[in-house]
Amino acid sequence: MKNHTHQMNRRDFLAAGAAVGAAGALSVTSLPGLGGSVALAAKPGVKLGDVEHCIQVWLGGGMAQIDTFDPKAKGDAKKKQAGSYYASIDTAVKGAQVCEHLPNVANVLDRFALVRTVHHDVIDEHAAATNRMHTGRPTSGTIVYPSIGSLISHEKGAAEKGVPEYVLIGYPNLTRGPGFLGAAHTYLYLTDTSAGPAALTRAANIGADRQARRDALLAQVREGYMTHAQVDKQITAYDQMIAKASNLSGPRFMNVFNLDEEPRTLRDSYGGEFGQRCLLARRLCQSGVRFIEVSHNLNFVNGTGWDIHNSGILNQHVLIQEMDKALSTLVRDLEQHKMLDKTLIVVTSEFGRPAKFDGGGGRGHQGSCFTVALAGGACNGQIIGQTDELSKEILEQPVSVPDLFATIVAQMGIDPSTELHDGDRPVPITDMGKPVPQLFA
């Protein structure tokens, strides 16, 4: 066996690891060289938070801020009169209003901070804007930048042993990946809360004894190869992923996905599949996972999800109502478990939507001004930034995407002046962003 493993080439090794199946739910969308970081002393005046977990709620397609968290005077789609699609309601924060379909969020808005003046220069390309909102930077031809989840994974690690640092509840994508930080900081993903990550679950015909024999054989193959071969960083990273996947497939972590342990009334209060994803995010935080992204791309509701061109806007309210139910319950649930002040919720999208209606009565794209909603952590009812009467122009306190990223990492206790390295090339952890000061008062 030792001679055989010594003769294995790189392709053979990768195939042997993949055959185990346990690493399948760990994304390998990017396998560049491993990155490093230099933790610099915080600059004078830079305040850091003490948040331990981050849940990013991703509204893929482009949430219309004017129809949700930054409502304005009501317009008329049929008459092409620009404005909000829905009426507005008061909230727990004096003077702040949200869309009428967010009544439950309105009641807990004092646990939120609405950053209404986020902006970037990507308009007509969903993929590029999604990349911008996950990496905090423009796409580069020379550097594959890490996502915010991988950045936090790299800097903080898991809060408990035996759990992943980063979990994606949604479909895998390069924009969520580790970039130059390497595969050790990628995500574990699943797409269905009724079952855990598929590749971490043993097939029904594989008993514990048989699995143990498989693990022992794989360990022998790995040890022989890693001992005798000249191994590059990519192989080392992949080997680490296999070891991590094997540990995660045990009952201790897999039990996190058993949502039936939760009271039926609580599960019902979260709502459907998106709500169950949010409930799972809370359980993952409890287990020690540091960063979770929860996708809300339930396109079957209105045919387009949050991408509300033309008639896609007609059932936009159903998406908003789903978000309202799940998000408000998540806030109260975390609070009930005394976790809200240690958990930062980030509700974001690739861009916003203009107040004007398109030819079919829907909305186009708008990157120049949109809202990101934060909750938990140090959020206590702040309304950050001011927009004009159509939520099109920024009047006060613009917040760039790098500023947003600097705010998130600083809330997580990570110095925004930290410097990473892509090989020998220094890369600041954010693109020169500055944290929003109101969240560090």
Between CA 334 and CA 338, with CA 336 as vertex, the angle to 5 degrees is 70
Helices (H) and strands (E) in the chain, counts: 12, 16
- Residues 113 and 79 both lie in one domain: yes
Per-residue pLDDT at 254: 87
User: Which helix (H) or strand (E) covers residue 129, if one does?
Assistant: helix 126-135
Domain count, the chain: 2
- Residues 152 and 66 both lie in one domain: yes
- Residues 243 and 165 both lie in one domain: no
Phi, psi of 349 (to 5 degrees): -155, 170
Q: Taking the model in full, what pTM does it have?
A: 0.86
Per-residue pLDDT at 233: 66
- Residues 127 and 151 both lie in one domain: yes
Residues in CB range of 396: below 8 A, 6 or more apart: 117, 385, 386
Q: What does 200-261 look like in DSSP terms, one character per residue?
A: GS--TT--HHHHHHHHHHHHHHHHHHHHHS---HHHHHHHHHHHHHHHHTSHHHHGGG-GGG
DSSP label of 411: H
- Residues 53 and 150 both lie in one domain: yes
Cβ distance 115 to 69 under 8 Å? no
Per-residue pLDDT at 26: 63
268 located within any domain: yes
- CA separation for the pair 127, 100 (Å, rounded): 30
Residues in CB range of 346: below 8 A, 6 or more apart: 54, 55, 56, 57, 372, 373, 374, 408
Give the mean pLDDT per block of 10 residues along the chain (441 residues): 44 40 50 47 72 98 97 97 98 98 98 98 93 95 95 96 94 94 93 79 71 77 72 67 64 88 98 96 97 88 88 94 98 98 98 97 97 97 98 98 98 96 95 95 78
Determine how many CB atoms are found less than 10 A away from the CB of residue 4: 11
Domain end (from 248, 280, 314): 248
437 located within any domain: no
- Residues 378 and 402 both lie in one domain: yes
- Residues 35 and 129 both lie in one domain: yes
Provide the token pair at 80. 């092409």
- Residues 227 and 107 both lie in one domain: no
Determine how many CB atoms are found less than 10 A away from the CB of residue 76: 12
- CA separation for the pair 52, 24 (Å, rounded): 27
Q: CA nearest 117: which of 435, 405, 404?
A: 404
Per-residue pLDDT at 15: 40
- Residues 58 and 7 both lie in one domain: no
Per-residue pLDDT at 423: 92
80 located within any domain: yes
Cβ distance 85 to 366 under 8 Å? no
108 located within any domain: yes
Per-residue pLDDT at 33: 45
Q: CA nearest 117: which of 338, 367, 312, 292?
A: 367
Cβ distance 6 to 224 under 8 Å? yes
DSSP label of 63: -
Cβ distance 285 to 237 under 8 Å? no
Per-residue pLDDT at 141: 85
- Residues 45 and 67 both lie in one domain: yes
CA of 284: how far to CAs of 69, 163, 259, 291, in Å? 27, 9, 11, 9
Determine how many CB atoms are found less than 10 A away from the CB of residue 356: 16
User: Which helix (H) or strand (E) covers residue 54, if one does?
Assistant: strand 53-58
Per-residue pLDDT at 424: 92
- Residues 394 and 411 both lie in one domain: yes
- CA separation for the pair 389, 98 (Å, rounded): 14
Domain end (from 218, 248, 278): 248
- CA separation for the pair 295, 262 (Å, rounded): 21
- CA separation for the pair 50, 53 (Å, rounded): 9
Per-residue pLDDT at 12: 45
CA of 26: how far to CAs of 59, 131, 147, 164, in Å? 23, 20, 15, 10
Domain that holds residue 419: 31-201+261-431
Determine how many CB atoms are found less than 10 A away from the CB of residue 285: 24
- Residues 172 and 299 both lie in one domain: yes
Provide the token pair at 255. 């039990």
143 located within any domain: yes
Q: For strands 88-90 and 188-190, give the pairing.
A: unpaired
